[in-house]
Amino acid sequence: MDNHRLRAIILKLQDRLNDDDRERLHFYLSNNVPRRIQDDPTLSGTLSLMDPLFDQDKVNEKDFTFLVDVFDEICVWVVWVVKRNDNHLESFSLIWLNNNKNVDIQRELRNIINHIEIFHDVEECQDYVERTPENGRLVLVTNGEFGQQIIPSIHQLRQISSIYINSEDKQWSNDFPKLKGIHVTMDELVSQIRKDHKNPRKIEEPVWTNMFTTISDAGKSTTRINGQFVFFQVLLDCLLRLKSNENDRNELISYCKKEYEGNQSELNRLHEFQSSYSSDNVLWWYTRESFFYKTLNGALRKENIHMIYLYRSFIIDIQNQLENHQCQCLTRVYRSQLISIDELNYLKNSVGQYVSVNSILSTSFEKEIAIFRLGDTKHQWDGIEKVLFEIDADPKVGTTKPFADISEFSDFIDESEVLFMLGSIFRLNSITRDNQNSFWIIQMCLCSDDEHDLKQILIDMKNEIGNGETNLCILGKVVRRMGYLDLAKKYYYRCLDELSQNDPLVLTVYKDLAKIAAQQQDYEENVRLRHIIAKINMFTRISDTEKSTTGIIGQFAFFQLLLDCLLQLQSNENDRNELISYCEKECKGNQNELNHLHKFQSGYSPDNALWWYTRESFFYKTLNAALRKQNIHMIYLYRSFIIDIQNQLQNHQCQCATRVYRCQLISIDELNYLKNSVGQYVSVNSFLSTSSLKEISNFYLGDTSRRSIDFEKVLFEIDADPKVVTTKPFADISQFSDFIDESEVLFMPGSIFRLNSVIRDDQNQVWIIGMCLCSDDEHDLKHILVDMKNEIGNGETNLCILGKVVRRMGHFDLAKKYYYRCLDELSQNDPLVLTVYKDLAEIASQQKDYEEYLRLRHIIAKIKEKIQLNGNEIEISEIDKLTDNDTIQKRKPKNSIRCNWHLTLLICSFILILMIGTGIFTLRLMITKNLPTSSEERTLTCTDGIKNQDETDVDCGGEICTKKCLPQQGYHTFEDNFNQDGMVDMSKWKFDVIPESRTYGNIIWPDNGAIYLMAHLGHDRTKISASIVTKLSNPLWNSTKVSDATTKHHVYTLKWTPDMMEMFVGPNEKEALKTRILFLEKKNKDWTQWPFDKPYRLYMKLAVGGNAGGKHGIDEGAFPQRMEIDWVRFDEQ
């Protein structure tokens, strides 16, 4: 079952759970829960039984009690066991199964193995062992009596590493090779464990690896690819470029103190570490048998992201030491290992593929040492194989992961240890059997970063986080894409704590937090964050937004957005056929309803939509149920009929103020909630049926003297004025209704009412709830709704937009359904295809389906290479701009009619004199161009009819541009003087300063910045705008009024220093700096906010049409047009 569905089901139980169960429940719901919990057959199987009950609204009090008991008795044990295993990082745990507590011996054993589980019952102990993951390592200490009962049952389990018995009876079967010793005294037993456990990590600890394969065809099956490799590489790259601080180190020390509380030996080492650690002795600490090695390697092995985050500065120290002492010649090293038969078979099937090591890999120059650690090769364990890794490593291989001989720094000098950096990649060359010594030899070699086919995907993903130092916001994004939403929130809020209130990164963080809230279906939190975002966008102090929003039902905003999207989505015959098929299946065996369905198929028309809605038939029942339960896909199928009803309500909208009534039975809890919400707003997610006759409503309430214990009778009195500005119509539908006498007034789904009063009518024993219909602009959510609706635009939507909306609501599987339907409808060369695949990849990462994510990234890479737009190849950077995941694109359907103007018009004629340094050149240009539609923006280029009469050696794609790049350092003043004549509602004049090349991020724009010195829209003659665009402020924009912008020359100035940027407009040279349009300081900004340290080129453009220039259409009769440029000057100081 889908985890989000499980989450929704379990949340319905939480109010009935006790505090302990609720704590376990929230652990289960955490995004950091290992998949082995989520996939536990007992847990998921039990919850799957709940699914149809909740779907059918058949869960009553008795069912709740039963389900809570099931959860308490069966499910939480799984969570408890794994949580206890995951809370400590060391690979080994010791199980004490004995009636004798012997605290002193337990304290001695903790100095060897820190984590001890104590049991006095064999059955409970066995249950714990069996539920421990296979990659756990357990050492069992027991007595003879308990040993006889438990050892035969658990000896063969992979997680059992070794067994020790305290008994005088030494007559034990030889069938138990994991039995390491039988000792009469506890002191002897402890001594044996200390000796055996001194260096077991070399052979027993799992090597945490990811296998991945190469793909020649992105369309083929990729089930053998472990996409988690890619994410771990990107995560590691991000963490190792994230600056550490004292708080992180203190948190790590606090964790270790808590973990080793009562273990004086380790606490002494911890104190020593605090006082004597330095980056120069990091390898000695890593090889020493202490908390440092155990917790660091445990964090890497378990991929505990937060612990790796806390350890990152020490990992960087290790990497630097390995780089400083990198092996200088070809080397063969060895490592012995015990692995399961399944693991061995997997490796056999992966010969020729690649192995990624997610831990720091310890090997030895000495083959004899590695073989010695394998022990008695004749002694085999059931299900376990002994292997010897032979690894060839050449330092000439192009890899960013160093390896070094660390013998001189190690606490074990004689071991000739060679250490490989985590993330190292090896090619698996061969697996052969050494029959003489009874072990397997696995031959591998260190690989170049460029050897495997995943290199381009890695480059692509790493480019997304840029070069140079990262920050907590970037780490939050990476972790969010990996699906660890709660952990991502943790880093985002840490980021907010470190930022100043006016830092532009604050807005990015809140937007990402809002996305997480939506994905977790926490609509209240999403709306709270949307309020903050709206305040920031309006330049309001963040502290003003911290008001409580607990009274707001956030799901309202998303339902409004969803409804708005669905009702703009064109319907088709396939959707109607799917709806009919569903209804036929639902009505199977009910001949009466099947007759209604057949009449509906043959007789339905938009004009009789209201009659069908009021008729007692499948149509009303299924449509209202879909709206009431917010069954998105059913609403999607019904959308054309909802539109028909909306049109009918609009056509017959009530023309005067009206009071209507509705009777209802509601629970006492619901009534109390309404009492506490007076003055707030109520949103109706279904059609609201009311009556203009109070008597009819009272009649339906029945005998008011009879009162149910659990329910209250209420009468809604609703005042509705058609003068209220709302997009949700209401109408008296009596003439169309199947029940004419009811004087029915119907309100559209999404209607919003203000709750004015809740009072008791004691005489009639009824609660009177007074409400009134509200304007769309009345409630506090109006700005949020406008913002959200603007994201999907006006006019017709498409399946890609619907997929985005549904994805943001957290319904990932349904979103995928719409995305794949969208792909079925698109042509292969449609640029929207890339957007869809990017969104699908985003879903795969959020669902932690790394295999699918990698498959989709391969497809994306292929599309980027081949995609065409309007028959012309476009650059990858342009494709990325067109298909940005944060931008919802609107496209016309394939069968839409487009209006093209086939007129060749004179647009402008001007002379440009450009001064750059000491060079002066003159261009005389004549531009003609076919006029585009207002929905398309086109920048006029040479291919559009520009006649270049004095050639230069600069290829600007036909735009007017500087012959030389503007220098990137020093103090510059750039000025130009021009005027525009006869501007119309169709064009956009622009002076742009654009980077010459990409040095940051993945694409030139916006990652490398852009400066828009002047922009003027034809339909707004008196406004001049300036803008600065970077990766994290897209764009910073401001405008000023210039009443004579199109009739007189003005001077536009850009002042640019290494620390700040200013843009001005003035009437002449003397007053060039009269009005400042825009200002930006560098301060402590990184490249994502200040990339302006490279050569830039000035462009002067005319763009026709588009969302900006063509906002009010195109006047094709307004040509010719002219832009006069008097002079352009560049001063360097």
Q: Convert the pLDDT of each residue in 386-398 to its tens digit.
A: 999 999 999 988 7
531 vs 542: CA distance, rounded Å: 10
For the chain, what percent of residues have pLDDT higher than 90? 22
In 476-520, where do the E strands start and end?
Answer: none
Same fold, 471-550 and 798-882: yes
Is the pLDDT at 504 greater than 90? The verdict is: no
- At 453 the pLDDT is 65
695 vs 73: CA distance, rounded Å: 52
Kindly report the number of other CB atoms within 10 A of residue 244's CB atom. Answer: 16
Is the pLDDT at 801 greater than 80? The verdict is: yes
Give the residue ranges of DSSP H helices in 723-849: 782-792, 799-808, 812-825, 832-846
DSSP H or E segment with residue 231: helix 228-239
- At 26 the pLDDT is 54
Chain segment 978-994, per-residue pLDDT in tens: 554 433 333 445 567 77
Average pLDDT over every residue of 260-274: 91
Which amino acid belongs to residue 177? P
1096 vs 971: CA distance, rounded Å: 14
Average pLDDT over every residue of 793-810: 82
User: Which range, of 76-80, 167-171, 984-988, averages the lowest pLDDT?
Assistant: 984-988
- At 640 the pLDDT is 92
φ, ψ at 920 (rounded to 5°): -130, 130
pLDDT mean across residues, the chain: 75
Is the pLDDT at 759 greater than 70? The verdict is: yes
Kindly report the number of other CB atoms within 10 A of residue 644's CB atom. Answer: 19
Is the pLDDT at 762 greater than 70? The verdict is: yes
- At 927 the pLDDT is 28
Closest CA to 114 of 88, 140, 86: 88
Chain segment 942-965, per-residue pLDDT in tens: 333 333 333 333 344 444 444 344
What pTM value is reported for the model? 0.53
Is the pLDDT at 773 greater than 90? The verdict is: yes
* Domains of the chain by residue range: 3-86, 92-198, 217-324, 327-449, 471-550, 566-651, 658-780, 798-882, 904-1132
Q: What is the CATH architecture of 471-550? A: Alpha Horseshoe (1.25)
In 651-804, where do the E strands start and end?
Answer: 658-667, 681-683, 688-691, 711-720, 730-732, 744-747, 752-761, 766-773
> Hunting for tokens 């828009």 — which residue is that?
1012
Helix (H, G, I), strand (E, B) or coil at 735: helix
Average pLDDT over every residue of 695-704: 70
> Is-contact 229 356, C-beta < 8 A?
yes
> Is-contact 415 289, C-beta < 8 A?
no
Fold of 798-882: 1.25.40
**CATH classification code of 904-1132:** 2.60.120.200
User: Which range, of 162-176, 473-487, 648-662, averages the lowest pLDDT?
Assistant: 162-176
Chain segment 601-659, per-residue pLDDT in tens: 999 999 999 999 988 889 988 998 888 888 899 999 999 999 999 999 999 999 999 99
- At 897 the pLDDT is 24
Closest CA to 1095 of 1064, 1130, 1129, 1127: 1130
Chain segment 1030-1039, per-residue pLDDT in tens: 877 656 778 8
For the chain, what percent of residues have pLDDT higher than 70? 69
Query: Is pLDDT larger for residue 830 or for residue 1103?
Result: 830
Average pLDDT over every residue of 170-177: 76
- At 962 the pLDDT is 45
Is the pLDDT at 220 greater than 70? The verdict is: no
Average pLDDT over every residue of 267-286: 94
Half-sphere exposure of 1048 (CA within 13 A, CB side): 10
Q: Please give the torsion angle defined by the CA atoms of residues 71, 77, 81 and 84, in that order, rounded to the nearest 10 degrees.
A: 60
Q: Which residues pair with 1129 in a beta bridge?
A: 975
- At 1041 the pLDDT is 82
844 vs 1132: CA distance, rounded Å: 51
Is the pLDDT at 880 greater than 50? The verdict is: no
Is the pLDDT at 57 greater than 70? The verdict is: no
Neighbouring residues of 267: CB distance < 8 A, sequence distance ≥ 6? 257, 260, 261
Chain segment 3-27, per-residue pLDDT in tens: 455 555 555 555 555 555 555 555 5
User: Which range, of 451-460, 722-731, 1079-1088, averages the lowest pLDDT?
Assistant: 451-460
- At 371 the pLDDT is 87
Which amino acid belongs to residue 913? I
> Hunting for tokens 């086109």 — which residue is that?
938
The yes/no answer on whether domain 658-780 falls in CATH 3.30.460.10 is no
User: Which range, of 306-320, 461-475, 605-619, 914-928, averages the lowest pLDDT?
Assistant: 914-928
CA geometry: angle at 1131 spanning 1126 and 1133, to 5°?
165
Which one-letter DSSP state was computed for residue 470? B
Closest CA to 561 of 802, 876, 288: 802
Q: Domain 327-449 is classified in which CATH homologous superfamily?
A: Toxin ADP-ribosyltransferase; Chain A, domain 1 (3.90.176.10)
The yes/no answer on whether domain 92-198 falls in CATH 3.40.50.10490 is yes
- At 1123 the pLDDT is 65
> Is-contact 681 755, C-beta < 8 A?
yes
